[in-house]
Chain A
Amino acid sequence: KAGVTQTPRYLIKTRGQQVTLSCSPISGHRSVSWYQQTPGQGLQFLFEYFSETQRNKGNFPGRFSGRQFSNSRSEMNVSTLELGDSALYLCASSRDRDRKTTNEKLFFGSGTQLSVL
């Protein structure tokens, strides 16, 4: 069973540009979450999608957006890139959205390393 796949693995952009990152969840998983990891702030939750709808959103500016397609694949977009957006962006999937009463784990991809110059 294939794991969570993120593309591209590395990306270099310049300030002001926009970028789109892609995530393919594990087959059968309908929930996709995105996280940003930086040395200073650690891992921070960006947003979660389930059945093509954004269910939850972290404390990030509107430049960060995402969407989910009918096949559960998700994309994340960052517009007007800033130097501080340089980070490892991680995508995670799970079968169910409701992980509150189940043993539903999150499975992470290897991430996309974004460098903004």
Chain B
Amino acid sequence: KQEVTQIPAALSVPEGENLVLNCSFTDSAIYNLQWFRQDPGKGLTSLLLIQSSQREQTSGRLNASLDKSSGRSTLYIAASQPGDSATYLCAPYGGGSGGGADGLTFGKGTHLIIQP
């Protein structure tokens, strides 16, 4: 069964800092991995998707890397802004028997606060 761990669970930094969010997963037989952000009481917004054959993806100030063999992904946020405050979730697709399930497996997320 795929298990996902995200570190740190919470992070508070001043505006302008560059930061790294970490995600590890137990089964490396994944097809892809998505990073999402979730604002309080809201749904998820997809940020980046990395295919298993790729090493990284970039979108604006966000860069996600994937080391499939070691079961790790990182999300790098450059020049953080207060609007980046949210919970960030990583979700590998595939891996593990999951009782027959074929959905995404989510970590508990990193709760990020950017102080103005």
Interface residues of A (CB under 8 A from B): 4, 6, 33, 35, 42-48, 55-59, 88, 90, 92, 99-101, 103, 105-111, 113
What are the residues of chain A within 8 A of B49 when measuring CB–CB?
103, 105
Interface residues of B (CB under 8 A from A): 31-32, 34, 36, 41-46, 49, 51, 89, 91, 93-94, 98-109
Contact B99 A109 (CB under 8 A): no
Q: Which one of B45, B99, B106 lies within 8 Å of A59 (CB-CB)?
A: B99
Contact B101 A111 (CB under 8 A): no
What are the residues of chain B within 8 A of A48 when measuring CB–CB?
102-103
Contact A106 B101 (CB under 8 A): no
Contact B43 A109 (CB under 8 A): yes
What are the residues of chain B within 8 A of A107 when measuring CB–CB?
46
A108 in contact with B43 given A99-B31, A100-B31, A103-B51 (CB within 8 Å): yes
A45 in contact with B105 given A4-B43, A56-B100, A110-B43 (CB within 8 Å): yes
Inter-chain CA distance A29–B109, complex, in Å, is 27
A113 in contact with B107 given A56-B101, A59-B101 (CB within 8 Å): no
CB < 8 Å A-B pair total: 74
Closest 4 CB pairs of A and B: A45-B103, A56-B102, A43-B106, A108-B43
Contact B103 A100 (CB under 8 A): no
Q: Which one of B36, B42, B43, B103 lies within 8 Å of A58 (CB-CB)?
A: B103
What are the residues of chain B within 8 A of A90 when measuring CB–CB?
43-44
Chain B residue at minimal CB-CB distance from A91: B43
Inter-chain CA distance A92–B93, complex, in Å, is 14
Chain B residue at minimal CB-CB distance from A46: B103
Contact A105 B46 (CB under 8 A): yes
What are the residues of chain B within 8 A of A92 when measuring CB–CB?
44
Contact B42 A45 (CB under 8 A): no
What are the residues of chain B within 8 A of A4 when measuring CB–CB?
43
Chain B residue at minimal CB-CB distance from A44: B106
Q: Which of B42, B103, B106 has the most CB of A within 10 A?
A: B103
| Least distance between A56 CB and chain B CB atoms (Å) | 4
Chain B residue at minimal CB-CB distance from A4: B43
Chain B residue at minimal CB-CB distance from A88: B41
